[in-house]
Copies of this chain bind each other. A is one copy, B any other.
Amino acid sequence: MDALSSLQADHDRLKTDIETTASFGAIEAESGRGRTVLAGTPANKSARDYFVSRLDDAGLDVTIDAIGNITGRWCPDSTDPDADPIAAGSHLDSVPEGGIFDGPLGVYAALEAVRTLQDAEIEPARPIDVVSFTEEEGQRFSDGLLGSSVAVGDRSVEGALALTDHEGTTLREALTEIGYDGTGLIDPAGWDGWFELHVEQDTVLETADVPVGVVTTITGIAHCHVSIAGEANHAGATPMGDRTDALAAAAEVVLAVESAANQLVADESESAVGTVGSLSVSPNATNVVPGEVSLGVDIRDVRYASIESLVETTKETLDQIERERGVETAIERPFDLQPRPMSDRLRTFAHDAAEALEIGAIDLHSGAAHDTMYIADVTDAALLFAPSRDGISHNPREYTDWADCTAAASVLAGAIGRAATE
């Protein structure tokens, strides 16, 4: 175990990979560094092409599956090629105007872990797969976690490839366009275990001043799509008493979701959150009373009961605005995931690796979903966090100190090394 106990990720190698990836889809930002990398776009192709070239450079065998998930396998001659592999990775896509660490840190820390094991001449008992999943953020074709949900069988390949963006382009067309329409499908159920390193997107690690978090549970998550129909009408000629204003009704929903989430936090579950993240108005003209509004609601907690409660509050508010304002409403729930506990076996490897390197690591829960959520359904899974400055993410100001990135990658290398040599 001596070699495993002293693994040190290469700071510059990791930083170069993440910074190069940051240049694809880069946007101008007042402060920080931002990027917009939606699945299947030219920026996503650039990020994928660079990743494949770096897998090649490290001598990994690259495969692309039918949904565009990329795998680089390290299986040196001394390793049993038929043993269940240890897999690790994350995603390369981003939200619109997102940050440069969310996703790429996990992908390149996994690759850096392999390179670190190679440099230390570790001989793994199992192959190690470095994976980048397609459309984790879900901003173009899906509600997110697309590549991992297909990999675990939660969604069919054909169904996923037929998903369309706002312009009617299918995922199949977009993947073909960028040259990432592969064959077969990665099989997480055949993995011995899965590790993902991700930025925390909260301030628990920053407050505790430690570079590594080991997730105990990933919160459950529900997305609701709400539509509200009023009556579009002239803003000057329609008296206040004669209106059915869809936006005023929607404003009540926004505030009700916020208020109910705050109440849950105060009374029952500190980790509960409720957000109206998207809202679109039609016809959206200053001088027209809004006729239709659609909202996207995001609800999460480590307790599934909190999620049910917030969905219920949303529905009650819709009933109320129908009664009081005469609008018509509809609600769909296209995305619903139970909370997921992480693997004790893999978490122990992570804590052991951190302890051996004398790197601080603490337990915490994850409010963000991540592909690990689906992988945990079919095999042992672990999710590690690196600190996010001020807790900011999905924003150009998202930032993780490069020393923390390296420390977390070193712990990841130690954990993967322990799992792969076990």
Contact B275 A395 (CB under 8 A): no
Nearest CB on B from A312, distance (A): 18
Additional A-B contact list (10), CB under 8 Å, known A223-B286, A251-B252: A96-B285, A144-B287, A202-B234, A237-B367, A238-B273, A240-B261, A240-B274, A242-B391, A255-B255, A280-B281
With A262-B240, A391-B242 known as contacts, the answer to whether A289 contacts B275 (CB < 8 A) is yes
Contact A298 B240 (CB under 8 A): no
Contact A265 B242 (CB under 8 A): no
Interface size on A, residues (CB 8 A): 75
In whole angstroms, how far apart are the Cα atoms of A279 and B247 in the complex? 9
With A245-B258, A254-B251 known as contacts, the answer to whether A277 contacts B235 (CB < 8 A) is yes
Contact B247 A221 (CB under 8 A): no
Closest 9 CB pairs of A and B: A286-B296, A201-B237, A251-B251, A251-B254, A235-B275, A236-B367, A201-B234, A236-B368, A235-B298
Contact A265 B277 (CB under 8 A): no
With A277-B286, A279-B281, A285-B139 known as contacts, the answer to whether A232 contacts B265 (CB < 8 A) is no
A200 at the interface (CB under 8 A from B): yes
Q: Please, which residues of chain B bring their CB within 8 A of the CB of A97? A: 232, 282-283
| In the complex, per-residue mask of A218-258: 1 if CB is within 8 Å of any chain B CB, else 0 | 01010100000001111111111110010110111011001
Q: Please, which residues of chain B bring their CB within 8 A of the CB of A235? A: 273, 275, 277, 298, 300
In whole angstroms, how far apart are the Cα atoms of A188 and B359 in the complex? 79
Contacts A/B (CB < 8 Å), 15 sampled: A138-B287, A201-B238, A202-B242, A203-B242, A219-B236, A234-B367, A236-B273, A237-B368, A239-B271, A245-B275, A250-B251, A251-B251, A278-B284, A280-B281, A287-B394
